[in-house]
Amino acid sequence: MALTQIPFGTTQAGAPVTAFCLTNRAGASVTLLDYGATIQALRMPDRQGSFTDVVLGYDTLSEYERGDGYLGATIGRVCNRIGGAAFQMHGKCYPLAKNDGENHLHGGWKGFDKYLWHAAPQGEDALCFSRLSPNGEEGYPGNLHVQVTFRLTEENALEIVYDADADQDTPVCLTNHSYFNLSGGGCVSEQQLQVSSHRITESDAHCLPTGRFLPVAGTALDFRTSRPLAAALDCDDPLLRAFGGCDHNFVLDVSPAASLYSPETGIEMTVETDLPGMQVYTANGLTSRAGKGGASMGPHGAVCLETQLFPNAMGFYAFPSPVLHAGEHLHSTTVYAFHTR
Ligand code: BGC
């Protein structure tokens, strides 16, 4: 395993940003930015042994700062949506930034994806990013010390470990917002998805949970056995029509939570997590534009498999609580593992 680092530009505020690259003996690699604790590139071998970059990203820091789509970034303090951009805790209402119509999305106007993190190598195969999210940031209570550690294994797995501590009770829900395309580009409709889930949290027109659960059986969201994403993207199921594709939280039954396979490259990715939910988002709202090396990006050009708690969880007692209590420690792991067939 080797760790190299190169400058990746300077933020508008004048801070230098670094791209760190971990490369294993097989030649697989991950490039990580301290800006947003972001996965900028992830190169995995295909069945011929050539390397394919399986995530969307940008070549320049200014594109990350402009920030369309949270490409590869760490999302927090609370990922996904919070209805009405406010939550109640201990009888008090906490108003948050309204950055998605009347609602709060992915931590607010300046979420964790827009901060420069402190980077520290951990051993020779991992990099740990940390930051202190101060009391009141984007409306959230308490100082939160958060760490995200990325480890690349010799077996071509990328392990992401989240750790956090707070000095006041606060909701916390962290995820990574990588856009996966296991063919390295083009539409993902022929890539095959399997999700170990028999129900989703039903959502309203604003992509907010209603509090009910909906079985996937008989809907276009039934990925209990692997099938091409086209089955969902090219159909007229009203569940997907409203969102222009898949943008749903699946309630996970078992681990591995999911697998994605490209018949073109033979690359298969499995997702393992200790979290109860996963938002499957087919990049429906991604602006059509050029990304890394001029590669075209746009709607259905990738799929995000965002492991997390359920959206708007503060609003529903039946959902697992996102509250991290003062003095408690949050520790959670998600692994994206790659092989070919
Ligand atoms: C959400 C989408 C949102 C997108 C923004 C996804 O995680 O599920 O609703 O539009 O992030 O990039």
9-32 confidence digits (pLDDT tens): 999 999 999 999 999 999 999 999
Prior bond to 289 cis, omega within 30?
no
Name which residue leads in pLDDT, 33 or 68: 33
* Ligand 1, atom nearest to 175 Cα: 7
Q: Which of 247, 278, 284, 305 to mutate to test the pocket of ligand 1 (most atoms within 8 A of CB)?
A: 247
> What lines the ligand 1 site, CB under 6 Å?
69-70, 207, 247, 279, 281, 285, 304, 306
> Residue 118 is which amino acid?
H
The Å distance, Cα 304 to ligand 1 centre, comes to 9
Segment 219-248 mean pLDDT: 96
pTM of the model: 0.98
The Å distance, Cα 59 to ligand 1 centre, comes to 22
pLDDT beyond 90 at 213: yes
pLDDT beyond 90 at 68: no
pLDDT beyond 90 at 79: yes
Model confidence at 48, pLDDT cuts 50, 70, 90, reads very high
pLDDT beyond 90 at 67: no
* Ligand 1, atom nearest to 243 Cα: 9
Give nearest CA residue, ligand 1 atom 9.
247
Degrees to nearest 5, angle at CA 302 with 300 and 306: 115
The Å distance, Cα 6 to ligand 1 centre, comes to 30
* Ligand 1, atom nearest to 69 Cα: 12
Give nearest CA residue, ligand 1 atom 4.
69
Cα 57 → chain centroid = 13
pLDDT beyond 90 at 122: yes
pLDDT of residue 94: 98
The Å distance, Cα 4 to ligand 1 centre, comes to 32
pLDDT of residue 331: 98
pLDDT of residue 8: 98
Name which residue leads in pLDDT, 167 or 124: 167
User: Percent of the chain having pLDDT more than 70?
Assistant: 100
Distance in angstroms (rounded) separating the CA atoms of residues 54 and 181: 5
Contact 280, 193 (CB under 8 A): yes
pLDDT beyond 90 at 166: yes
pLDDT beyond 90 at 80: yes
Residue whose tokens read 């490209």: 262
Residue 225 phi/psi, 5-degree rounding, is: -115, 150
pLDDT of residue 317: 93
Q: What are the residue numbers of the active site?
A: 177, 306
First to last CA, the chain: 24
pLDDT of residue 14: 98
Segment 99-108 mean pLDDT: 98
The Å distance, Cα 248 to ligand 1 centre, comes to 10
Q: Which of 99, 103, 281, 289 to mutate to test the pocket of ligand 1 (most atoms within 8 A of CB)?
A: 281
